[in-house]
Amino acid sequence: MSPRIARLTAGHAPAYRSLMLHAYAQAADAFTSTPQERASEPDTWWVRRIADPQGGSVAFGAFSGDELVGSVALEFSDKPKTRHKVHLIGMFVRAEHRGTGAGRALVAAALEHAQSRAGVRAVTLTVTAGNEPALALYRAFGFQLFGTEPMAILTPSGFQSKLHLWKALDDCP
């Protein structure tokens, strides 16, 4: 059964923290952060990540019953020259819930939210080279590759390149 998708609020911060600390360890090649550095962030950091009172970031969760099993976040810019762009980050679905449409539903919710924000025209994201499931997911929504950064991150499996993708919002279905 497909997980239910909902916008995360400050009260979800402990579950989100726990999900993402698992994600940074389980999918180390997919993320720029380590579980150790994120584990030391204060509670306020996690609240700001998922439900920033200033509107700088929002997150959506995939729930199986009451359990948070997946998430994605959006980071907005308040700078006049870049506030037309939003960055999609922290995409993760627990391994046992993959392949049931959660990832697709999370991206759809994030894009719908981005489109609802006045003045936002484009979504950017990065994917580690070789992460075919994530790449296929983003391509299915029309994200296009515009560049590759060699040696972008150093993970337990060595240096990894990052693919940079973007999507214009006026072509959302």
Ligand X SMILES: CC(C)(COP(=O)(O)OP(=O)(O)OC[C@H]1O[C@@H](n2cnc3c(N)ncnc32)[C@H](O)[C@@H]1OP(=O)(O)O)[C@@H](O)C(=O)NCCC(=O)NCCS
Which of 6, 25, 140, 151 contacts ligand X by CB under 6 A? Answer: 140
Residues 11-30 that bind ligand X (CB under 6 A): 27, 30
| Alpha helices, H only, 27-172 | 35-39, 43-51, 102-116, 132-140
Residue from 19, 59, 102, 165 that binds ligand X (CB under 6 A)? Answer: 102
Compute φ and ψ for 51, nearest 5 degrees.
-155, 65
Backbone angles phi, psi at 105, to 5 degrees: -65, -35
Please report whether residue 86 would count as binding ligand X according to CB under 6 A.
Answer: no
Candidate ranges 14-22, 41-49, 87-95, 111-119; the one touching ligand X (CB under 6 A): 87-95
Residue, CB closest to ligand X: 103
CA dihedral sign, ordered 132, 138, 144, 150? negative
Does position 166 interact with ligand X (CB under 6 A)? The reply is no
- Neighbour tally for 154: CB within 10 Å: 9
Tell me which stretch binds ligand X (CB under 6 A): 44-52, 97-105, 108-116, 165-173.
97-105
